[in-house]
Amino acid sequence: MGIIEWLKALFNKLIASFNDFIKEVFNQEAKILIAEFKEFAIEVIKKLAVTDLTNEAKRLEAIKEIKEEAIRRGKELSDSMINLLIELAVTWFKNNQPE
């Protein structure tokens, strides 16, 4: 193996390690944000569940309320993070309803 091939292999290993590190950091950040906003999202879903709004209107209202709460807390949540919070809260709500 020549020096060029060795350097390329080393560079590729460094890039792969960096990518793994970035994925883990973002994964940890997502977990922290979910933990921080989980209870609020559940409360929003509980409140909206008893309204006569359509499912789409409930979803839009939940997005709005979670975004506003994030701003109050000085956090920035991506649309995908908000959607994930809503899905988790809806799942929790459905699983915790008396039968």
85 compared with 25, residue with greater pLDDT? 85
Question: Which residue segment(s) compose the domain that 52 sits in?
Answer: 3-95
Q: Give the per-residue pLDDT at 50.
A: 94
Structure tokens that stand for 26 in this block = 């973002």
The pLDDT of residue 71 is: 96
Q: How many separate domains does the chain show?
A: 1
Q: Which pair of tokens denotes residue 50?
A: 């008893």
Q: CB neighbours (10 Å) of residue 90?
A: 19
DSSP state of 54: -
What pLDDT score was predicted for residue 47? Answer: 97
Q: What are phi and psi of 98, to 5 degrees?
A: -65, 145
Q: Is 85 exposed, middle or buried (0-12, 13-18, 19+ CB in 10 A)?
A: buried
Which pLDDT belongs to residue 24?
Answer: 61
pLDDT of residue 96: 84
C-alpha distances (whole Å) from 97 to each of 59, 92, 93 are 19, 9, 6
User: Does 97 have pLDDT greater than 60?
Assistant: yes
Quick one: which of 54, 77, 51 has its CA closest to 64? 77
Scanning the structure block, which residue is given the tokens 């950091």?
Answer: 25
pLDDT tens sequence across 3-55: 778 767 776 776 777 666 556 656 788 888 889 999 999 999 999 999 999 99
